[in-house]
Structure 1
Amino acid sequence: MALGGFVLDEQGEEDLLREALQTVRDQGFRMQRAVDTGDQPAVLKHAAEVLRELRTSLLSPKNYYQLYMQVLDELRHFESYVDEQQQAGASMRVLYERVQSSGNVLPRLYLLVTVGSVYIKSREAPARDVLTDLVEMTKGVQYPLRGLFLRHYLSLSVRDKLPDTGSVYEQSGGGTVSDAIDFLLQNLRETNQLWIRLQHQKIGGSRPLAVREKERMELRLLVGTSLVRLSQMEGVTRSVYAEQVLPRLLDDVVLACKDSMAQQYLLDCIIQVFPDEFHLQNLERLLEAMDKLQENVDVALILTALLERLTKFRETQASVANTGQHEAEVDGRTKLEQEQQEGFKVFKQVMATASKLLLRSSRYVVGSGETPSQGGGDAHLASVLPFFVTFATFALTWLGTSKAKNSDTTEALQQIVSGCLEFLRERTAWRVDKDKQVRQLVVSQLESLALTLLRALSIQDLMQVPVLREMLALMPWQGAWKDVALAWIRVLLARHQRVHNEQQMDFLLQVLSPLVRDDPNELQSPPPTTTAETGKKSAEIFEAEQQTLAKVVHLVANDDLDVKFRVFSVARRAFLQSGVFRIRFTLVPLIYQSLALARDLAAHSQEKTQTQGQETKAESESAASVGNSKTFVTTPREVLQFVHEMVTALASKQDALSVSCVHLFLQCAMVADGCAFEAVAYEFITQAFIVYEDQITLAREQWRALELMVASLRSTRNLSSANYEVLATKTTQYAARLLKKNEQALMVLNCAHLFWHPSQQDGKRVRECLQRSLRIADAIKDTTSNQVPLFLEILEATPEVTRNYLVGLLTLVKDHLDNMEHGQMRREGEFRYRAIVRYMDTLDISDDTLSTSPSS
């Protein structure tokens, strides 16, 4: 085949490849026929013809690889033939010397490697001598592409025939582990040099540098084969690796080549293929080598890979330790301290290298005199920022666990986040970069870094990392920062993390700022709803976010009720500044929690009073009892005033929550009544009435509000007779002014219960309510079918009234039933009527007194 410097286009290469593959198949077929006839000279001849196709320089690396794989298939048949010859008693030494007479260098060396592999297997000569001869002979091919594939074939052919520990090839003077290491390292060094020279070789014609770099990168696996085999050797122990392997790898191969792509790939290979224990033992030497790499080597990617390996190694260790923790419980504390000291030592080593990395990255971009995109700025952003995320995970894994955190952990995280921010300060262009992908890259990595910390540390630990808030400030207010806030709330809820004091609540709300209030940089934030489907969806998202935020209030826990009240005060201050669209979600749970606090304070005060009143023991015991009882400065009255201000703010800014505000005022009234604060309870109920009168106009909402009023008044226990009568009468008046007559009748009937209070029973007022309800029902100018249910409702709720009144009412119902049309409504009315009559027959009700029997 011609070897001239022709330039082929893509179609020309395809034709050439097709022709070469066909030649390989034809010559392989002839070789097989020669094998079948036992014609050794013909076998060698046709094998050489197969290999001669690999001498071409007109194919691209991708096409050359296809040709190489086809040739490799034919060489397997040739190797099987040689192996059969060896088993039949043929001398491998003779055949090894014979194949060296082949005319062309490349076919001769492929045949030599194939026969040499069987030669080692036969153990006619020491493995060490054959390996040394092969690795030296292959230096005869210096054309980069051809030499690279030849050395890859050498590595594949002898990978299971090295004099490793326990191997048959080590016995009887076949060689030692050191000989195998020498062979692999020498082959790796030569392979790496050929790979580097590929960038300068115009293979297959003239190609742009970027294309040649890409093609070269695609062939990197051919280089790493020797490293993989080296890591698999049984004889490469920790000491052998530290003394013989790593120093030569770093000095003779990685640092000696002065090529950034090769250094990057080789170091990454070293990190990936060798065990984690080896890296940990030789971490300092590995980090020192990273500092000596070429300036445009992306050390961040290498460090990230190393830290990921060490992190997984530590996690595996922790898992094994937890499995056997009962066996080593005696020395557990000492072992934990040793692990923490070791972890901090490792962290300091990595941190020192990371600091140099930042300086290196600055020189690479700023000192190159190029724009960030030209000088690799974007590339460094894409690698350095993920490094900080991995570094944070590494620090959390090595410096502490979920059960044992120490100051070293927060100090380390403070340094990591500070380093990340310092790196970004030198690259302020990303904030105004027109390329959205660059900004999204930075923001996404900052989000990952923040979530790494928030998911691992408690609130108290996070407070020891003040730069966290500075990092959050770099994120979009309504974008990544808000997503981080929502994710953290879910983490806190899942872990049942408690907020114990006002400092923690203040820190928590600062981190959750995008949920708590509008962006301060916007002059005026629009309401969360707009129009159509988009507005509806936005409103639903906003509501879900605020409901998630509201759950934070339930995380507050402290036995010191004074501290708990101060925590609620911090939350209220933040929520009241959050705007009218948010307080409807955030203030309500805070109000209920504050009411629970008021009840706890009242119960504590009452318990303490009873305890002091019952003290009849000796003076010393009495003093001890008083000393053990906690006295809180906060009073239930202060808490109720605190709640009153929140409900008032809610009522004044949210007309849509009028019924809810009525309910809240009434809830406050019941708590105040339970604390025996009659004036406060009366004030809360009055405020509920004011909201009802001023803000509630819809009939449906009026009905709901009146139901709440009746139920709340009925449950009070400490109102005076005069105050209770005023409130009950006012409620009855509201009921009588409802818009619909049937609703008036039923609500007035409901108000009758207010005058049959357990502590204040007024039969006359009860009868007046019932009579008024009956008059309203009878006056409805509607069909009989609508009146009968109202009459029956009154009957079912009035067993306290005299027999004459009930008999008259029953007669009225019977007359209306007789006049109703036949149908479902009449059948239901007759059924209820008969049930009432049967119930009255079982009761002995006098004509002039109210019964105390329960209503049916």
Structure 2
Amino acid sequence: MRQTSCLDYCLFIRYLLCTVGSVYIKSKEAPAKDVLKDLVEMCHGIQHPLRGLFLRSYLSQISKDKLPDVGSEYEGDTDTINDAIEFVLQNFTEMNKLWVRMQYQGPIGERDKRGKERSELRDLVGKNLHVLSQLDGVDLDMYKEIVLPRILEQVVNCKDELAQHYLMDCIIQVFPDEYHLQTLETLLSAFPQLQPTVDIKTVLSPLMDRLSNYAASSTEVLPEFLQAEAFAKLSSVVGKVIEAQVDMPIFGAITLYVSLLTFTLRIHPERLDYVDQILGACVEKLSRKTKLEDSKATKQIVALLSAPLEKYKDISTALDLPNYPLVMDYLDIPTNKVMAMVIIQNMMKNTTRISTADKVEALFELIKGLIKDMDGSQDNELDEEDFTDEQNSVARLIQMLHSNDNEEMFKIISTVRKHILLGGPKRLTFTVPPLVFSSLKLLRRLQCQDRDSNGQEISDTQKKVFQLLHQTIEALSSVPSPELALRLYLQCAEAASDSGLEPVSYEFLTQAFILYEEDVSDSKAQVTVIHLIVGTLQRMNVFGSENRDTLTHKATGYSAKLLKKPDQCRAVYACSHLFWVNEPDGIQDGERVVLCLKRALKIANAAQQMVHTRGSSGHVTLFIEILNKYLYFFEKGNSRITDSAIQDLIELIGAELQSESTTSDSSADAFFSSTLRYIEYQKQKGGSISNEENKV
């Protein structure tokens, strides 16, 4: 009890002496440097770590406004800035020793508790460095020659993990960025000397971030050689730190590379060799590990790979970096897909277009995680929604691959085809259509070119494209996806017709018919496909009479065999357009048009008879639709369509609508009334429809 009281009394006396000394300095009765020296020496009498730490913190607090700084009232002939610096550095050194000593006093089992207590007291030590940074007299030269070497000496020599980490971070935070750039070699030399357990990445990374921000905003102030030296020094120290700390997790090493890459991209965006050098160092580090430790490491690799994309906004630049794909190879399959999506989204955002086959090859190697199954993973193991999003992104990407040179564009298409055919059947439904339409776009461009200059070459290129299209669509048979393949065959058939290639067009249509006969079994799908076939045939004028007869015969035959009578009727009267094309060289066979319409009437009548017993009027609409077809062809000049035929059909519809066995249908009534008004309108205009047609 008596000893404790004695210690408390001694401590009280020293607090009092610090207060008296502060007042004495203010009185200016003695040089400030002498009083400060006595006070800092007097504090040596308290060796208890916690008490001594607070005592010296109090001394620093009450003396900071009384230091002989440049321009202060306490500066004189004998009191200079050097004295102020010496006082603060001495106090800092002693406080740091006391702070470190706290860790080693007391039971071993309470070391973690003491570490937590020390962490809470660290700002007491750091305030000394803040005081130094606020002294006007501490210019760059003085900082370089005196302040920084003395601080680093204490940091390195204390050999305490917590102290070294905190003090290095404190140096970076309190002193200006310009000072760090000018003293970079000195500052960085301390990092490899720190304890192996110090988490250097959390100190060095913020330093590089601060320097890159400062240098990027002060390029006119900083000499170019200084910026170049900064990269060389930072790169060197990052390598040394990673080599020195053999137990540093891969996450920490990659974090350092990310910060170094960020610095480089801001200061030297034109130096792709610097960027690739950093990626190469990362590859070397990753090659020593059998696998990445955790998700943190993979996220940092994604950040590393994303940085060049965000800076250059062009995947082409990243493709010029030899080590870029090597880094990506170390990602696991899920993360590889994430990075591939980042690349595609970056291209979409910046409307990046790849215009050479070589770069397309390199790009598809980068995003291969989306293109094909890797390491035995199966499509059915993937989340369906995620898989759809991924493949839709690939499909959009294919549309962005473009070259104005026809030969190069064909090479691009061939390269894409090679990769997507490795993707498995589930992916083909997403990736084949955009490839087909890119090929068709090339064909249209070839058709628009002047054939007189190089006609044979263009024709050969077209044939090669059509051959590639046939082989590509044929691959969909493994899915199977007959309706999609059939639609694509029809698109290609029409393109071949536009190119004047009758045999090629006929072959594509033949394949479409085979798919319809063998693989399209759903009745609704059959209806849709028949109308697609008829619409495609109607627009094609490349065929001779024999081939055209064969194709139209098949189309009308398919139409008449549909499951439901209304579907049959509509498909058959749609076939009438195959025999009347309003173009200079188009077919105009009025007799066959009438045959199709009469056949449609027969089917409609059979359908109507079937529903009379149920009191329905649903199929009366078919007669009205056929009437409109009669009117269409009559106005187009088909002499086989007579006034009497139209009049008979009008009377038939009127009778059906008034039949007692037919339930009233407002939509059918409205449709018929609208048709009659149209006839009246044409009559008033002086059209070709005779007066007799209006008799109901």
TM-score by length of 2: 0.90
What's 1:254 paired with? 155
452-461 or 794-803, larger mean C-alpha shift: 452-461
> Partner amino acid for 2:254?
L
* CA distance in 2: counterparts of 1:342 and 1:607, whole angstroms: 61
* CA distance in 2: counterparts of 1:685 and 1:632, whole angstroms: 23
CA deviations over 1:114-138 (Å, ceiling 9, x no partner): 3433444454544333322322222
Distance 1:448 1:768, change over 3 A: same
**What is the CA-CA distance between 1:244 and the residue it aligns to?**
2.5
What's 1:526 paired with? 378
Matched position secondary structure for 1:760: coil
> Partner amino acid for 1:587?
V
Quick check: 1:421 aligned with 2:283? yes
Structure 1: segments with no counterpart, 5+ residues: 5-51, 57-103, 322-334, 363-376, 432-437, 530-534, 613-630, 852-856
Whether contact under 8 Å (2:227, 2:267) holds in the other structure is: yes
Instruction: Trace 1:272-671 onto structure 2 (pairs within 5 A).
Output: 272-317=173-218, 339=224, 341-362=225-246, 377=247, 380-400=249-269, 405-406=270-271, 409=272, 411-428=273-290, 438-457=293-312, 458-477=314-333, 479-519=334-374, 521-522=375-376, 525-528=377-380, 538-606=383-451, 608=453, 635-650=461-476, 652-655=477-480, 657-671=481-495
Quick check: 1:168 aligned with 2:68? no
What's 2:645 paired with? 805
Q: 1:188 aligns with which of 76, 92, 116?
A: 92
CA deviations over 1:310-369 (Å, ceiling 9, x no partner): 122133336xx7xxxxxxxxxxxxx99x63x5433322222222232232123xxxxxxx
Whether contact under 8 Å (1:128, 1:180) holds in the other structure is: yes
What's 1:59 paired with? none
What's 2:637 paired with? none
* CA distance in 1: counterparts of 2:369 and 2:307, whole angstroms: 19
Equivalent residue pairs, number: 671
**What is the CA-CA distance between 1:724 and the residue it aligns to?**
2.5
**What is the CA-CA distance between 1:596 and the residue it aligns to?**
0.4
Whether contact under 8 Å (1:820, 1:826) holds in the other structure is: no
What value does the CA root-mean-square deviation take over the aligned residues?
A: 2.8
**What is the CA-CA distance between 1:847 and the residue it aligns to?**
9.3
> Partner amino acid for 1:108?
I
* CA distance in 1: counterparts of 2:503 and 2:68, whole angstroms: 97
Matched position secondary structure for 2:611: coil
> Partner amino acid for 1:169?
Y
* CA distance in 2: counterparts of 1:255 and 1:647, whole angstroms: 69
Q: 1:268 aligns with which of 162, 169, 172?
A: 169
* CA distance in 1: counterparts of 2:380 and 2:78, whole angstroms: 80
Matched position secondary structure for 2:543: coil
Distance 1:189 1:515, change over 3 A: same
CA deviations over 1:176-219 (Å, ceiling 9, x no partner): 322221121111111111111112222xx774333323322332
> Partner amino acid for 2:125?
V
* CA distance in 2: counterparts of 1:826 and 1:785, whole angstroms: 6
Quick check: 1:210 aligned with 2:112? yes
* CA distance in 2: counterparts of 1:632 and 1:155, whole angstroms: 86
What's 2:60 paired with? 155
Instruction: Trace 1:53-202 onto structure 2 (pairs within 5 A).
Output: 104-170=9-75, 173=77, 175-202=79-106
* CA distance in 2: counterparts of 1:169 and 1:729, whole angstroms: 111
Quick check: 1:792 aligned with 2:649? no
Whether contact under 8 Å (1:301, 1:384) holds in the other structure is: no
**What is the CA-CA distance between 1:294 and the residue it aligns to?**
4.0
Q: 1:729 aligns with which of 550, 553, 577?
A: 553
* CA distance in 1: counterparts of 2:78 and 2:2, whole angstroms: 43
Identity rate, percent: 36
* CA distance in 1: counterparts of 2:3 and 2:440, whole angstroms: 93
Distance 1:186 1:491, change over 3 A: same
299-308 or 289-298, larger mean C-alpha shift: 289-298
**What is the CA-CA distance between 1:634 and the residue it aligns to?**
6.1
Matched position secondary structure for 1:235: coil
**What is the CA-CA distance between 1:107 and the residue it aligns to?**
0.6
* CA distance in 1: counterparts of 2:162 and 2:286, whole angstroms: 26
Distance 1:598 1:117, change over 3 A: same
Q: 2:524 aligns with which of 684, 688, 700?
A: 700
Quick check: 1:243 aligned with 2:167? no
Distance 1:634 1:302, change over 3 A: farther
Quick check: 1:743 aligned with 2:575? no
285-294 or 492-501, larger mean C-alpha shift: 285-294
Structure 2: segments with no counterpart, 5+ residues: 635-640
**What is the CA-CA distance between 1:632 and the residue it aligns to?**
6.8
What's 1:764 paired with? 591
Matched position secondary structure for 2:665: helix
**What is the CA-CA distance between 1:489 and the residue it aligns to?**
0.8
Whether contact under 8 Å (1:459, 1:504) holds in the other structure is: no
Whether contact under 8 Å (1:742, 1:777) holds in the other structure is: yes
**What is the CA-CA distance between 1:549 and the residue it aligns to?**
1.3
CA deviations over 1:665-693 (Å, ceiling 9, x no partner): 11111211111112211221222111111
